[in-house]
Amino acid sequence: MLTGAPAIHHLLRHRWITGCRYLSAIISGFSLFIVLLLTLTSWLHKPTIKPLNPLIPLDPDLVDLTLLRNATEKNAVCLDGSLPGYHLQRGSGSGAESWVLHLQGGGWCSTVDSCSSRQETPLGSSHYMPRQALFVGILSQSSSLNPDFYNWNRVKIRYCDGGSFSGDTMVQAKNGRKLFFKGQRIWEAIIDELLSEGLGKSKQAFLTGCSAGGLATFIHCDNFRALMPKGANVKCLADAGFFLDEKDISGKRTMQSFYNEVVRLQDVGRNLPNECTKRTKPSQCFFPRELIKTIKTPFFIVNPGYDFWQIQHILVPKASDPELHWLRCKKNIHHCDSNQIYVLQGYRTSMLDALSEFQHKKDAGMFINSCYMHCQTANNITWHSPTSPRINNKLVNAPGSKRGETHH
């Protein structure tokens, strides 16, 4: 069960420091290593490279990108009109009929200009996507780093629509190019292709996602379950996707306004769950707090109470801090003064309050820690390692990790 917080300074100055400071440093180094590894791989055109980090399997598979067949005919294309894609690594043995799908994150775009800029990045065009992906964390092939899913069929679905796989329209950009907001069609087309690849005969299916992909998991979870074979064990997990509708430090609802624009520009509303849009406006149904009220599929939420992306973009967006009083604090939580710590504590409390109803649902679970990070399941260090965050000494993927909140 969720527990009350200790004194503010004790929580952020002592427990966060002892439990998460070193973890953050390790993750930063690990992320840099992954970037260098993929860059070298692309340059040398070799299928594998000997890793330097002991938390990476000795011979990690770099999984090839598969571009979606018949995507153009289905109008299921990225922002620039290119083909969407996914990476699939086949399961084996006891996991041959089990599937885990991971929806990539990467934020959203809410204006024609910002979406046009994404057309020339991997988040808007498959022309810029890496041709191989290193499967780590919940997608790892290592039985020691990913004991539950290492031999399942594992899929990473690339994100290139800017609307959490939920838009369906097209607009003309100022440069004369077209902007294709076809996230909903991409979702449907990729799932349809994976069904033909064996997902349609699965005995277990697990839909997961990180950040904007985590939000997409909330949106599509029940639809995913409906597409699976009758009798299959189907569950969903959203990692760092529980975005809050909270006021920023200037008193404005920056995230609410931003989501309003995303939903309007990309015509997202008609693809959100009907049970939600019948009781409130579509843009509110882009917030997980509303979505979880009607999700029927067993669901697990992984989120830090001090999600650094949310702190930097929802609580303290740039426009709310013109004199940059929060700049050092946002970059490093150890530089926050007592007033800033109090504000951060309030944001964490708001997240726990938003989850209070969910925690009592029958088929619901959560893992809410107090680290200053964003996304934990797609990283070996935070997914299953000696330094991974714990609740009652249990990892997020350990047996019995049902619900709770930790300060480590």
Query: Pairing relation of β-strands 204-210 and 132-134?
Result: unpaired
Euclidean distance between CA atoms 27 and 379, whole angstroms: 8
Catalytic residue among 87, 220, 313, 374: 374
Euclidean distance between CA atoms 88 and 154, whole angstroms: 6
Tell me the C-alpha to C-alpha distance, in Å, between residue 262 and each of 80, 268, 276, 297, 299: 17, 8, 17, 26, 25
Is 143 annotated in the active site? no
> What strand order describes the sheet that includes 233-239?
132-134, 62-67, 85-89, 153-157, 98-103, 204-210, 233-239, 299-304, 364-369, 405-406
Query: Pairing relation of β-strands 204-210 and 153-157?
Result: unpaired
**CA nearest 184: which of 200, 204, 163?**
163
Contact 50, 36 (CB under 8 A): no
- For 235, left (φ over 0), alpha (ψ -120 to 50), or beta? beta
Is 211 annotated in the active site? yes
**CA nearest 241: which of 268, 208, 279?**
208
Euclidean distance between CA atoms 107 and 109, whole angstroms: 7
Tell me the C-alpha to C-alpha distance, in Å, between residue 57 and each of 60, 62, 90: 5, 11, 17
Catalytic residue among 211, 370, 388, 401: 211
Catalytic residue among 61, 239, 267, 307: 307
Euclidean distance between CA atoms 371 and 12, whole angstroms: 9
Is 239 annotated in the active site? no
Neighbours of 186 (CB within 10 A): 31
Find the length of the chain.
408
Cα angle 403-407-408, degrees, rounded to a multiple of 5? 100
Q: Report the catalytic residues.
A: 211, 307, 374
